[in-house]
Structure formats: structure tokens, C-alpha cells
Chains A and B, each alone.
Chain A
Amino acid sequence: MTKIVVVTSGKGGVGKTTTSASFATGLAQRGKKVAVIDFDVGLRNLDLIMGCERRVVFDFVNVIQGEASLRQALIKDKTFPNLHILAASQTRDKEALTPEGVEKVLNDLRSEGFDYVVCDSPAGIERGAHLAMYFADEALVVTNPEVSSVRDSDRVLGLLASKTRRVERNEARIKEHLVLTRYNPARVLKGEMLSLEDVTEILAIPVLGVIPESTAVLNSSNAGTPVITLPDADAGQAYDDLVSRFLGEDRPLRFTTVEKKGLFSKWLGG
């Protein structure tokens, strides 16, 4: 059965697309058949983070409006053939997304036998964000340990609990997961940053992963390779843990406490 997972946050710039790219790639690494869809019509970016921007011929809106078939528009990942990307349109406006159109694409992906459809939500709570979450079975709520991000995440949780098909159909609630990104344990220790415990206490949803603030994230986006594919990067390892946890594996949280490193081990790069 196909599971639809929305990656959402309300606030922009907190790591939704980074998370979508690594989450989808991680599922594909584990042999799942995955499609990842960019819902940010007009401001597409997932293609860049996935490194397939030059291979976009048809996009999500083309498929919805019947100008291309789903198969034509799905871009097969270079490394993982079971991973497919559906880019957002760069030229159309958000009105091009319709509930019927989105539903049809999702149903077609279902009948194509996809295990997971990852919906990369745009920032905000407007049409694109609404449609990205509307059909979801589970939600990754991406949050930075920062007041405006936490507040926006709480807003989004309110929408997930009221404005989705599962709610309208009286089905089981969307399963919500917290993904705390840009976490800096040293600053938490100094009392300069909200801790994981602070954020989970306020948002009251279980944590799926904590991604440390990391230079690897910018490096990987520069190169167009999802950070999860870099096994030496702390953020990559954190995303790897996150995907395993999502699939039910028990993995303790890492990178949430300050590592005491001697100068010597720093020199050794250990």
C-alpha cells in the first residue's frame, strides 16, 4: 500500500526540501519505490537539491493539466532507479494546483505501485501547503529550535488536525513526527538555544530525528546530492537514523549532546 508523507513546517528556510530530499533518498536506499513531489509551484527547488534540474522536461502542473503523462514527468534518480522526482512548475502560478488534479496524480502513483510518496510542501499555509498535506497519511513537521519556527509548526499541527482528508473522512489521525533541524547542542548547553526537550514539550509530538547544524548541508546542496548520501557527514548520519526510525527500527538519537573532543582527536578528524 502506498503511504503518503508530507514534509511541512509553515515557516520557510527551516529545511523542508533538504529533509524531503534526504528522506526520499533514504527510503529508496532501503529498496522502497519512492516518488518525491515538489508542491512549491512557482518556486521550485527540490530538483536543485536532488541534482536533476537539467533533466526537468515536464512538471507536476503539466501532469495535472494533461499536457504530459505521469511517466513522462517523473524523473528517475541517477543513483537510485527506484527513486523518482516530480518537479514543480516554475512558470505557472499556484492556482494551477487543484485538489482533483493532485488526487489523480497520487492515485496514479498508487496504481504504479509506489511504496512512498513524499510531498515537499511550500512554506506558508496557503493553497500549495494545504494541498501538500491534504491527502497525507503521515507528516514530518520540520522545525528549527527558534521561536518563530516553533510557533509556525504549532500552527501547522493545528491544520493537520483539522484541514485534511483523514479528518474530513473521520479516519485515523495523521501520524505526526517532529524533525528538529539546525540543532546546535553547544548553544543549547549555553542556554542560547531551545533544547529538544523544550520543543517537544511545547509541540507535544514524538521526535523522529534531530539534525545537527552542519556545514555538510550547504555543501551537499551546492553539489546537488542529498546529504544522506554522504556517510561521513553528521547531518547525513542523522537523516539515515531518521529514515530507519521511520521504518520502525530502534535507533538512539545522536548529535544531541556536546561531544567533548580533545585537540588531538580534532586534528585526527575523529
Chain B
Amino acid sequence: MALDWLKFFRTEPKNTANLAKERLKVVVAHQREGRGRGPEYLPKLREEILNVVRKYVDVPETAVNIQVQNEDGLEVLEMNIALPEQRRS
């Protein structure tokens, strides 16, 4: 108990900048969802890739995720295809 009180009075240097950064990352990621950030062909590209994948693997509608990101002035096309869990017996 006494220790807690001591802690209360001690001024701990908190790194609030890191806190700000972490909070911003979450907020900005949320903000960017569904933002039409990227070329207009993106939805069509996604659909076509989904169809190709589906020729070989049975995946849900949401399996293909494509995003265009701007990294240091370079546009990067990032594609994620989630395959269903395989059951091995």
C-alpha cells in the first residue's frame, strides 16, 4: 500500500508520443477501410483473381484482398489470398 502511494507521487516519464502513434495507426487503418484508394480497376481485378483461384480451390467471396498502398512515393499492389484450412487425416 505504501509503495502504491510512492508510485503515485513519483513522476514517471511516459512516452506519450508512442501512445499517439499506436492510437493513430488504429484510427487511420479504420479510416482507410473501404477508401477507394487505388485505381478503378481494383474491384474488377479482385473479382477476376477470385474466379481464377476458385478454379482450383474452393474459397469464400472474401478470400481475395487487394490493396494499393503508397510507400515512400511508390505504389505497391498488395494481394492476400486466404486459403481455407486443410484437413489432413
Residues of A within 8 A of B (CB): 146-147, 150-151, 154-155, 158, 161-162, 170, 176, 188, 190-195, 198, 201-202, 204-206
Name 19 interchain pairs, CB-CB below 8 A, sorted by A: A151-B28, A154-B28, A158-B32, A161-B36, A161-B38, A162-B35, A162-B37, A176-B70, A188-B17, A191-B13, A191-B17, A191-B18, A192-B16, A194-B21, A195-B17, A198-B17, A201-B21, A204-B71, A206-B73
Question: In whole angstroms, what is the CA distance A88 to B32 when docked?
Answer: 33
Contact of B69 among A151, A201, A204 (CB under 8 A): A204
Within 8 Å by CB of B31, from A155, A170, A188, lies A155
Supposing A162-B37, A191-B16, A204-B71 touch, asked if A198 and B32 sit within 8 A by C-beta, the answer is no
Residues of A close to B69: CB separation below 8 A:
204
Given known A-B contacts A151-B24, A162-B36, A202-B24, A194 and B71 have beta carbons under 8 A apart: no
Interface size on B, residues (CB 8 A): 25
The contact of A161 among B14, B15, B25, B37, by CB within 8 Å, is B37
Residue of A nearest to B35 (CB): A158
Q: Given the complex, which residues of B lie within 8 Å of A192, measured CB to CB?
A: 16-17
Contact of A205 among B18, B21, B73 (CB under 8 A): B73
CA distance A147 to B19 in the complex (A): 10
Which residues of A have CB within 8 Å of B17? 188, 191-195, 198
Complex Cα–Cα for A194 and B20 (A) = 7
B7 proximal to A (CB < 8 A): no
Chain B residues lying within 8 Å of A193, measured Cβ to Cβ, are: 17
Check if A202 sits within 8 Å of B36, measured CB to CB.
Answer: no
Closest to A205 in B: B70
Instruction: Tell me the complex Cα distance, A170–B32, Å.
Output: 21
Identity of the chain A residue whose Cβ is nearest the Cβ of B76 in the assembled complex = A204
CB pair A150 B24 closer than 8 Å? yes
